[in-house]
Amino acid sequence: MIEEHASVVLTEPLPSAGLEAGDVGVVVHVHRNGEAFEVEFMTLDGNTLTVETLTAKQIRAARDRDIPHVRERTIAA
């Protein structure tokens, strides 16, 4: 199970938040034994972009072999 403070990877885009599949966030709260998660997405300098409530299907745990990828922030519509 994904726990608080774990790094997670978004599995689908969230255009309203300006997020894309593959973006990395950190779990800041776990709801109902893993049914949903509060995930903070931030820039590399530590500024919070957004905190989103996501289902277990919308994220996965980051893996040891994952390689982060940098992209410029897009403005949400």
Q: What is the pLDDT of residue 76?
A: 57
The model's pLDDT over 14-52, given as tens digits with 9 standing for 90+, comes to 999 999 999 999 999 999 999 999 999 999 999 999 999
Burial class (CB in 10 A: 0-12, 13-18, 19+), 10: buried
Give the residue from 25, 30, 22, 28 showing the smallest Cα distance to 41. Answer: 25
Q: What is the pLDDT of residue 73?
A: 81
Is pLDDT of 63 > 70?
yes
Determine the topology of domain 7-61 in CATH: SH3 type barrels. (2.30.30)
Quick one: what percent of the chain has pLDDT higher than 90?
A: 91
At which residue do the structure tokens 């938040």 appear? Answer: 17
The H-or-E segment that residue 2 falls in is none
Is pLDDT of 74 > 80?
no
